[in-house]
Structure 1
């Protein structure tokens, strides 16, 4: 089975993602701080992961953490919340579902935006 991992800043971010995900995904929290020790511990945990995603806030500390994680895990794919929400924890569940679905994650049916097609197109014209 494929192992997918998402790295987030905090516990609330993790809880929000778990509300919309419809598949098993490991979610690791940095708890807002990152050091060489944490990088080493995280690297050990990620050794068996097939796919690694970084999903941090769009504020100063989130962007700083994203840069650090990019340096340590250059193969990681990045997910971004919309700037208007600033934080993963403040992002509405349907928007989180859309972001995750576009990245190929399975999301719970009730959280999916009914106007987003599986390929990410919004409001595709009829007959297309």
Structure 2
């Protein structure tokens, strides 16, 4: 990723935890211009929506985020709205939360195929769902 990170166990962590009022490890903190607010500090959940796209999200500007969202919307238009995976009837969702893909076990947090059954909690990344097809 194109941003700085502290190595695990770095002694500067204690000072930074106090400054940013965080006590979780790992924690993501972004400092700088974000959505027109100079020197705004974003922590964890606020940042996750920006970095779901990985290094492509950098620089963290409103224009960049809008571009990535538009691109994701265009890609989703080409995907099937429903598909079957083993015993699961999956539906395409613009899921605005984090999930673990049941195929590759990696995290996702945007578009996914999820089981229509309530409380099933079966998720697939679009890539994993469409590769199966």
Q: Give the TM-score category using the shorter length.
A: under 0.3
Larger fraction in strand: 2
Please give the TM-score of this superposition, normalised by the length of structure 2: 0.22
Please give the TM-score of this superposition, normalised by the length of structure 1: 0.23
Q: Based on CA coordinates, which of the two structures has the bigger radius of gyration?
A: 2
Larger fraction in helix: 1
